[in-house]
Amino acid sequence: MAALLRDILAELDRVLEPGRFDDYGPNGLQVPGREEVHTVATGVSAHAELFELAAHAPAQLVLVHHGLFWGSGPGPIDALLKRRLEILFDAGMSLAAYHLPLDAHPQLGNNALLAHALGAAELEPFAPHRHQPIGCIARLEPSLPARELFARVARVTERPPLVFDSGPAEVARLAVVSGAGNHYIAHALAAHADAFLTGEPTERVMAQAREGAIHYIAAGHHATETFGIRALGQHLAQRFPVRHLFLDVPNPV
C-alpha cells in the first residue's frame, strides 16, 4: 500500500493552511524525493540523526516541525547542510516542514494538544504572530493547585520543567505557546493568565514573572513540540494507506 507524495502534500496544505501565516521559513515541501510514499517518518527537527533513522526505517517522506531552511532562502551550502542533504538524496526521501501552522492548529497543533493533555476544558486563541494567533489560553475546570500543574507538565513532557513559581496558589487560566514563545509572557499578563507555559526561558523572564505575579513554566523547546508533528503523522496514516513512525531524537533544550 502507498500514497502519492503530491496527494499527501495537498492534504497537509488543506489541513494546516500555511498560506495564512507569515512564517520564519518556507512551509511545505523543502526537498523532493520519491513520488510514491509507503512510510512517513515524523520528528521535531530536521537534522542528520533524524534522517539516518528515517532512511533505516525505510521512509520515503520525512515530516518535521523545524525544517532545513529559514529566512528568504537556503544561502550557501556548508558542510553540515551538505551532509543532511546527502542523506535525503541517497535515500530518495522527501522532506516537508510545517512550523507556525502546526503550532496554531486547533486540533493537531502543539499548543492545543499540550493544553488538552494538561486537562484544559476550553481553549481560546492567544499570542498573535502578525495577526494570526499561534497559542491558546486554556481554561482549567476545576482550577488546579499550581504544584499539581507543574507535576502534570513534567508528566506529559517527560522532563522536569524550569518553573518560576510566582503566581497564585490555584491556576484557572493557563497561557500556552510552545517552543521559543518566551516573549509572549507580556501577552499572558495582559490576558490575566495565572500561568504561562512555553519551551525556552530568557534571562528577563524571572523578573517579569515575579513582578507580574504569574507562574512561568519552561518545559523545553523540543519537549513542547513533539505533540503536533506526531498527531500530524497519525492523521496521514488514517487518511492514506501509509505507515507512520514517530522518530524521537531527545533534546534537552
**Residue 41 has what pLDDT?**
99
- pLDDT tens, 116-160? 999 998 999 999 999 999 999 999 999 999 999 999 999 999 999
**Residue 95 has what pLDDT?**
98
Q: What does the alpha-carbon distance between residue 56 and residue 140 come to, in Å, rounded to a whole number?
A: 42
List of the chain residues with pLDDT < 70:
none
**Residue 60 has what pLDDT?**
98
- Are 146 and 168 within 8 A, CB to CB? yes
Q: How is residue 129 written as a grid cell?
A: 504572530
Q: What does the alpha-carbon distance between residue 200 and residue 253 come to, in Å, rounded to a whole number?
A: 7
Query: In terms of DSSP bridges, do strands 195-198 and 132-145 run parallel, antiparallel, or are they unpaired?
Result: unpaired
**Residue 74 has what pLDDT?**
77
Per-residue b/e over 134-156, b at no fewer than 16 CB within 10 Å? Answer: bbbbbebeebbebeebbeebbeb
**Residue 239 has what pLDDT?**
98
Q: What is the number of alpha carbons within 13 Å of residue 249 lying toward its C-beta?
A: 15
- Are 217 and 198 within 8 A, CB to CB? yes
**Residue 214 has what pLDDT?**
98
